[in-house]
Structure 1
Amino acid sequence: MKKFITLSLLALSAMLVSCTKEDEESLGGPSIAKSDVKFSVTQEQGHDNIVMLNSLTQGGYIPYWEFTGGFSKKKQDTINLPFAGNYTIRYTIYTQGGPTSDSTKISVSENDPEYFASPMWNLLANAQDGKTWVWASDIPGGICYGNGSGGATAPEWWQNGIAYLTSEKVAADEMTFDLKGAKNYTFTHAGVSQKAIFELDTLNKTLKITGSDISLGNKVTYVVVKLTADELTLAQQGDGWRNIWMYKRKGFNY
């Protein structure tokens, strides 16, 4: 209950901050009874990730929709829920008499094939099943961490392999990406796993992790230098230089 109250207060704060003068002028006088709160939530046939929200309540009010991953204060809106799963769509109307809420539940049958159309998603995360990456310490030459010139695809200047990773106690680190209900990221160090989320920009080929980091990382948005079914190379891009991390799919051997 405490968690629900906290979330409701956060939603109310977000709604009030986003109110415009036009919103304030649309507020009706008295509160509206829950029995008079009318709305519809409709999923697109054959593509149920697409959801149409329609406020049907009569009178003056500000509508506010809450759903996993976002909100809307439009009377009619179309949203995308990219992940398979069960969702609660909460509909609240605000009048001068206060808020009145109702909700409905919907089910999304599969991850949105259009949203995840780029092959990069599956190469990185293997959809809902997930994929685990480890240091590519057995790569020919053994160099998998270091830095180099601005366009380098492997360490050129400062070069390190398993000996350095072992001295830093990160040789056994693992990172797992999956798309089960969210863009999930799990970083495992010294047997302890840390849950976080990630964002993959398939157009600009960048990777950002929120709530954790990669092994020996610098908490930046990383450039995806290479991504195949078995290999992942990330870089921190500088002006004429790069820090470089080289990984392989867990279970893959060179």
Structure 2
Amino acid sequence: MKQMLTKALAAVMALGLLFSCEPVEDREDLPATNLDPSEINISVTNVGNDVTMTNSTPDVIPYWSYKDAAGNELGHSNQNTVNTVFPFAGTYTVDFTAYTRGGAVQAASKTLIIASNDSEYFSAPEWSNLTNGVAGKTWVLDMSGPIGWAGFDYPYNPNGDDYWNWFPDYAGNEWVMPNKDWGEMTFNLDGGYNVSVTQTALITDDQTTKTGNFSYDIASHSMMFNGAEMLFGGDYYPDVSNWSSLKVVELTPTSLRLSVVRDQARNPNDGPCQIVYHFKPKE
């Protein structure tokens, strides 16, 4: 019985080491030292939007973490020297923890102010077309032809088997949706990838506004909303399971087409395809 208890205790201790949150094994290799926070030697500097974090404290395991003014964590590292880019203007906080054999020692936080957005980082014309930079850009449905449908190969794979589209004029096809103010959608790069969507209800003119952030991969023509959903018009919401994962079908200074996937059509005769909404800049 005693032997069984000994084995069980050993197993519990092994599990405790396996799931430990601190680098115990690495710290055991460090010299025995009692480090005072005032002895931590670090620097955080920037040239424009290029940021360098340097630890010159000997005999410690470094741990960096950095966040924006809203408290969103942007990244972390256990390297002595960290080179990264903060693409947006704003105030950032950099924290440093030195792990020693005697435990973790927290340094005083460093504050870094980035004066402007990184013009090179956002040099692709798509960013200006979509957001107008820090100032922002608001889009509304283009009621001359607000909606269309397309195959999944459209428009970037013209040799694909599912390459087709139908973008009807609203005149003569008023059945696609009522002609009313469906709301607006605003993008800006003011300290982050910001998006705000004001959506008008289907039956009434009541509006709700949601704000969040977005990601845009220019190479893959994909966009993702977090905290908001794409502006839409008409009775199509139940036919789509995801209104936050989008495809950029067209983007010019005066025209934006975004699509969602019709993957749960209520009409059994309607198969999966892209539902493509057409937007224009708000006047």
- Normalised by the length of structure 2, the TM-score is 0.69
Aligned to 2:159: none
CA-to-aligned-CA distance 1:196-237 (integer Å, 9 cap, x gap): 000111112211111111024733532211111111001236
**1:26 and 1:60 in contact (8 A); partners too:** no
Aligned to 2:97: 92
Equivalent residue for 1:177, pick from 173, 187, 207: 187
Aligned ranges 1:39-54 → 2 under 5 Å = 39-44=42-47, 48-54=48-54
1:102 is paired with a residue whose SS is coil
Aligned to 1:121: 127
Which amino acid is 1:119 matched to?
A: P
Query: Which segment drifts farther, 102-111 or 147-156?
Result: 147-156
Identify if the C-alpha distance between structure 1 residues 123 and 134 changes in structure 2 by more than 3 Å, giving closer, same or farther: same
Which amino acid is 1:175 matched to?
A: M
Identify if the C-alpha distance between structure 1 residues 25 and 197 changes in structure 2 by more than 3 Å, giving closer, same or farther: farther
- Once the two structures are TM-superposed, the CA of residue 194 in structure 1 deviates from its matched residue by 1.1
Equivalent residue for 2:152, pick from 150, 153, 156: 150
Aligned to 1:105: 111
2:230 is paired with a residue whose SS is coil
From the two aligned structures, give the one with the greater strand fraction.
1
**Unaligned stretches of 5+ in structure 2?**
1-19, 69-73, 156-163, 201-206, 233-239, 263-270
CA-to-aligned-CA distance 1:62-119 (integer Å, 9 cap, x gap): 3223233222221111010000122222222233423322122222121111211111
Identify if the C-alpha distance between structure 1 residues 92 and 243 changes in structure 2 by more than 3 Å, giving closer, same or farther: same
Equivalent residue for 2:245, pick from 208, 221, 230: 221
- Normalised by the length of structure 1, the TM-score is 0.76
The percentage of aligned residue pairs carrying the same residue is: 26
Larger Rg: 2
Equivalent residue for 1:236, pick from 248, 260, 265: 260
Cα distance in structure 2, aligned partners of 1:66 and 1:135: 39
- Once the two structures are TM-superposed, the CA of residue 134 in structure 1 deviates from its matched residue by 0.6
**2:66 and 2:92 in contact (8 A); partners too:** no
1:124 is paired with a residue whose SS is helix
- Once the two structures are TM-superposed, the CA of residue 158 in structure 1 deviates from its matched residue by 9.1
**Unaligned stretches of 5+ in structure 1?**
1-15
Which amino acid is 1:144 matched to?
A: P
Query: Which segment drifts farther, 239-248 or 206-215?
Result: 239-248
Aligned to 2:80: 75
Aligned to 1:9: none
Alpha-carbon RMSD across the aligned residues, in angstroms, is 3.1
Query: Which segment drifts farther, 226-235 or 156-165?
Result: 156-165
Query: Which segment drifts farther, 233-242 or 155-164?
Result: 155-164
- Once the two structures are TM-superposed, the CA of residue 31 in structure 1 deviates from its matched residue by 4.7
CA-to-aligned-CA distance 1:225-251 (integer Å, 9 cap, x gap): 111111100123689832211111111
Query: Which segment drifts farther, 231-240 or 218-227?
Result: 231-240
Q: How many residues align?
A: 226
